[in-house]
Every structure is written in structure tokens, then in C-alpha cells.
Amino acid sequence: MLAGTLAAVGCGLLGIFLLLRRLSLMGDAMSHSVLPGLVIAFLIVSTRHPLAMFLGAAVAGIATVVLVELVKRLGRVEPGAAMGVVFSVLFALGVLLIERASVRHVDLDADCVLHGQLETLVWFGAPDSLTGLFQWSTLEAVPRQVITLAVMVAGAFAFIGLFLKDLRIAAFAPAMATAQGINATLMHYLLMIFVAAATVASFEAVGSILVIAMLVCPAAIARLLTDRLATQIVASVVTSLVCGIGGYFAATALPALLDIDAVNAAGSMTVVAGGLLALAIIASPKHGVITRSLRLRRLSARVAMDDLLAAIFRATEAGSGSVSIDALRPLFIGQPLELRFAQAERAGHIHRLGDAVSLTPQGRDVSANIVRRHRLWESYLVDEAGLALDHVHAPAEQFEHLDVEPPAGPVVDPHGRDIPRKTDTL
């Protein structure tokens, strides 16, 4: 559980900046491209010693970053395509080396590569009390992978803490970062080196699936929950902790309760991450599907109200105080006009008397501002944008619902109609 959680936290912390830079696929690229590094390291030292494997994978990870940048710059392709090309070629190279270099007998099991070896990381001599945790004999027995992951997480936190300002500016505005004396290219390569280190450190223990998921899911969840970078970092770390701890118990305790065989811990952590991401996509308070649906519904109702008030204003603009409902029906075919009237009446914008509808003083102020924006936008599109007179109504009808208007200038629109004066609405 500790190994999986540390891997999740380290990858989730760095994944925020990959997401902001649209480089989330880099984790997938590195998890595939370490294969030739592992094979070449074995060919050089003729052993699967952990240090040799780590160094080989680390060199391959850094080479991946450099090659992606070269392909992106020289080939002028978008980052996703560059990463896809590089990791496909490097992974194929690794398979070719295994087949041709007489190392097929080496145990590079696909399940191990995909799912890691969390179940084999046993802490023999683990303390049975908190006081025994800090004894040297106890700490000495901690699995090497856990120590490696702990060092990686500490390094990632130190890197983010020291260079948060530089990383923020370089992620959102590289040109501004350069103008302020920040080397955006150096920040990019430092970030990629730490991503490579996190990927390699996590690869042996948790496998490629969890590495890829933790580089993407916690960051994506945090991005859905908030727009502030500092809060996103905290949310990503908390999400990673929930995925690591919750996924472990889902893989062990839950099957025991259901009287079924235990499932793979790394896979379970990945499933938890996917479930949390699905929940965030649906129920995020700002960017979730439900929130967006409610926001669009409110906007649709507001636009419909604006259209109704503007239509009544235009119909009564000549001086008549009211307009008949039957005269408005052809303008709103297929729409629930009675419902719109009821909503406008409850809002205090209109007054109905039999078949006649008139604007209240408040409704007249609101509708006058809507029509004012429409006619000002028509004038702007004709005078400044150069659109033909018969092409300005449709775009102006969309712009009129915005709470902004072009600079006031003319007193009549291109059709010769008076532009109402701006009023203070309630």
C-alpha cells in the first residue's frame, strides 16, 4: 500500500504540470520507451541488478524527452503525435533487441510490466507499534522500491516548492516567462527529467498502467474541481492518496468481504482513479456535466426572456403601450410562449391584461438595454467590421445577450432606427 500510494502521489503531483502543458501522454511514452533502456543495461552488465536496470530506464526516459522535442521541433508536428511516434519506435526497438540479442530467456514478464509487483513488496520485520518504527533494524528492512519511491516523492515536492512560480508562468505563458528572465526551455526539461525519474521509480513496483493513470487521472480530477493552480496541486495529491489507499483496500479487504479471490492492487488503484475521474466529470461543482447542464439551462431561459422582452419593446416602440399576444406568436413558433409570459410576469417585467401585453417600467429598462446592444452591434459590424447590411442581424442577435457593448457612437442603427439610451436596470 505504501509503495502504490507513494507512486500515485509522485506521479499525481507532476501530472498537474503535464496536463497544463497538454503533455499528459508523456507518461505513456516513457512507460513504453524504458524497455530498450532495460535491455541495453542488461546487455552491458549481464545482470538484472536493480541499480543497473534503474539507470538504463532513466537514460531511456530522458532520451524519450529529448527525442520528442526534436521530432516536435524539426518535424513541426503537434506534441501528441511526436510522443506517439517516439514511444512506438522505442518500444519496437526494445522488442527487437530482446528478439535479436539472445536475451529472450530474461524474465521480462508482460504482467510484471503492466501491473508491477506490489504483492511481492513485503516488509519483513515491520513494527507492531509506532515506537518500533524508528529503529534502524526496522527501517533497514523496508523494501528497496519503497525507499526509491519515497526519495522520488521528496524530490518532486522539493522541485515543485522551489520552482512553483517559474513552472506556473512557463506552463501558461512561455513567452512571458522568457521576457521575465525565466528560462522556459530549462523549466520544461527539468520537469520532464522529474517525470522520467517518477516513471522509472514507479515502473518496477506498480507497472506501467498505474503510472499512466496517476500521471493523468488525479491531475484531471483536480483541474475539474478548481481553476486555481495551488488548489489543484493539493487536490491532485489528496486524490492520489485516496486512489492509493482506497485502491489497496478495494483489492484486499473488499474481496475478502465478498468471499472472492483478491485482485491486483495496482489495477484496483487504477480503477479507483478512473471511478473518481468519472464522478468528477459528472458532478464537478464548476465543470461537471450536471453543472454545465444547469448553467446552459439558465442561459437558455435568460436568452428566451431577452428575446421576448426585446420583441415586446420593438412592437411598442412606436408609441403604443401594449401589443396583442397573437401578434407575437409568429415570432416564437415552436416555443412555449405562455410559459415565457408567465416567467416574465413573475419577474415583474410585463403586465398582461386580457390579450394585451405591456412592459412594466423595470421591463422597459431591461428590454431597452437589450435592443440598444443589438443596434449598437449592428452599427459596429457595418461600420468597423465591414459586413453587409443584410448580414448583421444574426450575429447582433447573439451579441445582444452579452453584458458588453461596442463603443457608443451613432444615435441610429444602419437601418435608420433610433438606438435607445442606456438605462440603469434593477
pLDDT tens column, 145-185: 788 888 889 999 999 999 888 888 888 877 787 788 888 88
**What residues contact 258, with CB distance under 8 A and at least 6 apart?**
none
| Confidence (pTM) | 0.76
Q: Name the nearest CA neighbour of 351 among 361, 360, 342.
A: 360
Give me the residues paired with residue 258 across strands.
none
**Do β-strands 350-353 and 323-324 pair in parallel, antiparallel, or remain unpaired?**
unpaired
The fraction of the chain above a pLDDT of 70, given in percent, is 89
Confidence of residue 279 (pLDDT cuts 50, 70, 90): very high
Q: Name the nearest CA neighbour of 202 among 217, 190, 214, 220.
A: 214
Q: What is the pLDDT of residues 341-371, one digit of tens each?
A: 888 888 889 888 888 888 888 988 888 899 8
Residue 405: other Cβ atoms inside 10 A: 17
Residue 426 has pLDDT above 50, yes or no: no
Residue 418 has phi, psi (to 5 degrees) of -65, 140
Q: What is the mean pLDDT of residues 376-404?
A: 87
Give me the residues paired with residue 357 across strands.
323, 352
State the burial class of residue 75 (Cβ atoms within 10 Å of its Cβ: 0-12, 13-18, 19+).
exposed
Residue 333 has pLDDT above 80, yes or no: yes
State the burial class of residue 336 (Cβ atoms within 10 Å of its Cβ: 0-12, 13-18, 19+).
exposed
Q: List strands edge to edge, sheet with 356-359.
A: 323-324, 356-359, 350-353
Residue 98 has pLDDT above 50, yes or no: yes
Residue 52 has pLDDT above 70, yes or no: yes
Lowest mean pLDDT among 93-97, 105-109, 308-312: 105-109
Residue 103 has pLDDT above 70, yes or no: no
Residue 278 has pLDDT above 90, yes or no: yes
Domain 292-399 of CATH type 3.30.565.10: no
Distances (CA, A) of 133 to 5, 75, 129, 152: 19, 54, 7, 21
Confidence of residue 391 (pLDDT cuts 50, 70, 90): confident
- What residues does CATH 1.10.10.10 cover in the chain? 292-399
Residue 331 has pLDDT above 60, yes or no: yes
Whether the Cβ atoms of residue 31 and residue 208 lie closer than 8 Å to each other: yes
Q: Supply the pLDDT for residue 108.
A: 52
d(CA 295, CA 297): 5
Q: Supply the pLDDT for residue 234.
A: 93
Residue 425 has pLDDT above 70, yes or no: no
Q: Give the SS3 label for residue 418.
A: strand
Q: For 117-128, give one letter per residue: b (16+ CB within 10 A) or e.
A: bbeebeeeeeee
**H or E segment at 284?**
none
Residue 341: other Cβ atoms inside 10 A: 18
